[in-house]
Amino acid sequence: MKKLSVLQAITLFLIAAVILFSGLIIIKASTIVVLIFTGMAAIIISIIWGIAWKEIEKKVLETATRLLIPSFLLLSVGILIGSWMLSGTIPLIMYYGLTFLNPTIFLFAACIICALMSILTGTSWGTIGTIGVAIMGVALGFGIPMHYAAAAVVVGALFGDKMSPLSDTTIAVSAFTNVNIIEHIRYMLYTTIPGLIISLILYLILGFQSHGQANTMEIDVIISTLNSNFNLNPILLLPPIIVLVLIFMRKPALPVFGIGILLGSILAMVFQGSNLLDIANTWNEGYVGTTGVEVVDEMLTQGGLTSMYGTVGIFLAAALFGGTMIASGAFDILLQKIIEIANTGKKMMLSCLSLHTLFHFMVGSNHTSSAVLGPMLSPLYNKFGLHRKNLSRTIEDTGAVFQPLIPWSTTSVFILSTLNISTPEFVLYGPLIYLGVVFAIIYILTGFRIAKANPEKE
């Protein structure tokens, strides 16, 4: 099976990087169009250089298959948000949030709540798509900038996901690198806790700055509008409680979201007087606020299958591009170069960090990058007498938490679809997202918290 030469692999990477940068930053074209064009260019160049189409097709299909479940989850979250809006569940959470939360500590509290939720449930997507949506609505009512609120939600959700032994990404990375999961989580604290502390301090500062912007009269209007347009019964909290309990019990996310959708739909009929056609339309097109109060309608108009179609398209476009790069053998060539060049543990770790970051940028999925590079890079750590938990931590620092820095990543497009805000708008206010990599590099350069292998346990 033919593979590219070193020069060809470097050239292909450079061409892909130029197209991505030009399309997204200079031309400002849509992510899906840029990814498709980059994928097409990579396919044409690879075929010209002798890579068989059958091999490219195989890898594209393999990559797309890995994204099928995330795609179904995305679609189910769209329906879930719509049905919980229609039932009054999310409006009730907004109502309570505006009634009881203090705007000054709102961002700080939102981050902590989302972190605890993700730790208990093991899913950042579940947290962002449920309580995160409600928090964004409350923030809008308080007059808190949406990019502040999105940052607090995402930072809390990602931190909790990373620290949870129930998280699929945490379990997967520890498995791919053959590291005990508890040891893996403990070792991640060194690069994660500093970023979380800095983020929480920032949210307290931003909260005090934003406090004066909260319009008490407008908040009262929002509260009264929600109260007059929905039957806000505490029983409406039942769907999110049941969903979170089931996720905490480690039940599969897709059927759990299905239960949440059905419960929301039933409660919409019981408490809001909705009929089956209302429910069907909301599942498809999302909930549309018709209260007549602009700010409330903006808070309520969300969800539905159609809101997620573009995101699923990005997943498929990412598979087209990422699968082609894998089939060409370009990443295998880079790995071999690392083995040849890295003559010290420090150089090797920096090279692995760079390679995983690059690979992650190319494929846009930390599930794919960890599955491919975890097993491939582990022997290098054994060779230099370093514990593999150094690798597992590096993969996490440049993986799940790092995803919002990649506009076409699965998490970025999910955030855009659920919170209605693009990651470039809020990422600066989420220090945890990028400081993990910074601390990882500092630790590698200084040797701080770089564990040696234990021969007896290896």
179 contacts: CB under 8 Å, gap ≥ 6: 173, 387, 388, 389, 391, 392
In angstroms, how far apart are the furthest CA atoms of the chain?
70
Nearest by Cα to 198 from 144, 140, 159, 149: 159
> Kindly report the CA angle at 124 between 318 and 296, in degrees rounded to 5?
95
How far does Cα 220 stand from its chain's mean position?
34
d(CA 337, CA 342) in angstroms, rounded, equals 8
280 contacts: CB under 8 Å, gap ≥ 6: none
d(CA 329, CA 174) in angstroms, rounded, equals 25
Q: What DSSP character marks residue 103? A: G
d(CA 127, CA 238) in angstroms, rounded, equals 16
Q: Which three-class secondary structure state does DSSP give residue 287? A: strand
State which H helix or E strand residue 181 sits in: helix 181-210
Tens digit of pLDDT at every position of the chain (458 positions): 677 888 998 899 889 888 887 887 788 787 788 889 989 999 999 999 999 999 999 999 988 887 787 788 778 888 988 999 999 998 898 888 778 778 888 999 999 988 987 886 667 887 888 778 888 888 888 888 999 999 999 999 999 989 887 677 787 788 778 888 888 888 999 999 999 999 999 999 998 886 555 556 667 888 899 999 999 999 999 998 898 788 778 688 789 889 999 999 999 999 999 999 999 999 999 999 899 888 788 778 888 898 888 778 877 887 888 889 889 888 778 777 777 888 899 999 999 999 889 888 877 878 778 877 787 788 889 889 999 999 999 999 999 899 999 888 888 988 988 898 988 899 999 999 999 999 999 999 999 989 998 654 44
Question: What tokens does 281 get?
Answer: 């339309």
d(CA 387, CA 389) in angstroms, rounded, equals 5
DSSP string covering 46-90, please?
HHHTT--HHHHHHHHHHHHHHTHHHHHHHHHHHHHHHHHHHHTHH
What pLDDT is recorded for position 456? Answer: 44
How far does Cα 82 stand from its chain's mean position?
20
Question: What tokens does 156 get?
Answer: 């809390």
> Kindly report the CA angle at 411 between 133 and 70, in degrees rounded to 5?
95
d(CA 202, CA 128) in angstroms, rounded, equals 20
- 100, 278 contact by CB (below 8 A): no
> Kindly report the CA angle at 185 between 178 and 163, in degrees rounded to 5?
130
What pLDDT is recorded for position 458? Answer: 45
365 contacts: CB under 8 Å, gap ≥ 6: 63, 66, 67, 70, 318, 322, 409, 410
State which H helix or E strand residue 367 sits in: helix 366-383
Burial profile 350-382: b = 16 or more Cβ within 10 angstroms, e = fewer: bbbbebbbbbbbbbbbbbbbbbbbbeebbebbe
